[in-house]
């Protein structure tokens, strides 16, 4: 299994020169036996490449207990592909297909805990089967990620089956694949945000379960800010080889997102400070334009401040131009 494809602001990002595992959650129930299983195609300039998507298949459920939140299943470890993470799924019993979100999987006890209790329409003594929405496939270096590329179109086609074996409805999702040396990432996670939130104040903020979403929203806002700074040079956030310099701004953007509803004043203050710190953090930044991992002439650039051109020496003794791009916010 290869490195995982990253999804940021709707784009998929794969690492160049290695196999990448793509993960995707189908928004509809499907009937694989009826030919409606999802199929992914990457539309390269050299021609389309198909990526096989597989899921763990249906899991037989035995009982429903604990306030209709805890499912017991039978059979051998059918959920290996999910790891321990949350994910969407469907419970199928007769002609009823009920969307659920899996919160926790205990393979020793063979139980699945749901994020929300099931509706009363489903019988507790015969809950049917659980069909994960989670699919994965291998994007191979030999076929897709052999070289750097931007804006490669991909499609995933499937048939939605809302009547459990009835006639499927054709559906399709499409987007762009970026093949890069390293997808942008500051390393900030939900645990980091949880620790930071305690410094903001214990009286407000979301639960721990919401921190992961807040981190994703904070990352999106940081990426949008960074794209604005890099747009004039036809660069993106993935051209920044050491984004850890933006770790604190990412935390503050995330905290702002987490507090947007419960404490809008603190949220606004955090967002403004995150923008200020972002501008300070990237005043002198290495932009790996050719993504070769080396600091080449012209790659140490100035973002923020005025638009004057300045020539200074790098640590390697090479005099390189330093540019200002946009204004500090």
Within its chain, how far is the Cα of 241 from the centroid?
19
Q: What is the pLDDT of residues 134-182, one digit of tens each?
A: 888 999 888 888 888 999 999 999 988 876 656 778 999 999 999 998 8
User: Which percentage of the chain shows pLDDT scores above 70?
Assistant: 75
pLDDT the model gives residue 51: 93
- Domain ranges in the chain are 3-55+136-180, 59-132, 190-322
What are 240-268's pLDDT values in tens digits? 777 888 999 999 999 999 988 888 999 99
For helices 190-200 and 208-230, angle between their N-to-C axes, nearest 10 degrees: 100
pLDDT at 41 over 60: yes
Query: Domain 3-55+136-180: which topology?
Result: Immunoglobulin-like (2.60.40)
Q: Is the pLDDT of residue 75 over 50?
A: yes
Biggest alpha carbon–alpha carbon distance for the chain:
75
pLDDT for res 286: 67
Chain centroid to CA 209: 16
| φ, ψ dihedrals at 199, nearest 5° | -80, -20
The 3-class SS string of 279-322 reads HHHCCEEECCCCCCCCCCCCCEEECCCCCCCEEEECCCCCEEEE
Mean pLDDT of the chain: 79
């Amino acid at each position: 299994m290869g490195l995982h494809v990253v999804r940021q602001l709707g784009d998929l990002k794969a690492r160049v020169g290695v196999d990448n595992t793509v993960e995707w959650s189908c928004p509809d129930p499907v009937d694989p036996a009826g030919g409606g299983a999802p199929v992914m195609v990457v539309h390269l300039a050299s021609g389309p490449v198909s990526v096989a998507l597989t899921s763990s298949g249906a899991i037989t459920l035995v009982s429903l207990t604990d306030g209709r939140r805890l499912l017991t299943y039978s059979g051998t470890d059918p959920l290996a592909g999910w790891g321990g993470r949350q994910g969407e799924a469907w419970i199928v019993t007769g002609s009823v297909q009920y969307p659920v979100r899996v919160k926790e999987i205990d393979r020793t006890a063979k139980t699945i805990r749901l994020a929300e209790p099931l509706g009363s329409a489903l019988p507790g003594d015969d809950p049917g089967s659980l069909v994960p929405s989670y699919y994965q496939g291998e994007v191979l270096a030999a076929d897709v990620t052999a070289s750097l590329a931007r804006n490669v179109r991909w499609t995933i086609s499937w048939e939605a089956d809302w009547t459990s074996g009835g006639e499927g409805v054709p559906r399709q999702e499409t987007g762009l694949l970026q093949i890069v040396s390293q997808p942008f990432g500051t390393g900030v996670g939900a645990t980091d945000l949880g620790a930071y939130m305690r410094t903001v104040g214990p009286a407000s903020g979301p639960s721990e379960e919401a921190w992961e979403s807040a981190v994703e929203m904070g990352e999106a806002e940081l990426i949008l800010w960074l794209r604005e700074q890099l747009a004039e040079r036809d660069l993106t956030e993935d051209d920044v080889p050491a984004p850890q310099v933006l770790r604190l701004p990412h935390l503050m953007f995330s905290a702002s997102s987490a507090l947007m509803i419960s404490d809008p004043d603190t949220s606004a203050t955090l967002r403004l400070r995150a923008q200020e710190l972002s501008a300070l953090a990237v005043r002198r930044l290495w932009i790996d334009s050719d993504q070769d991992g080396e600091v080449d002439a012209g790659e140490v650039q100035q973002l923020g401040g005025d638009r004057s051109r300045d020539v200074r020496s790098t640590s390697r003794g090479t005099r390189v131009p330093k540019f200002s791009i946009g204004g500090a916010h």
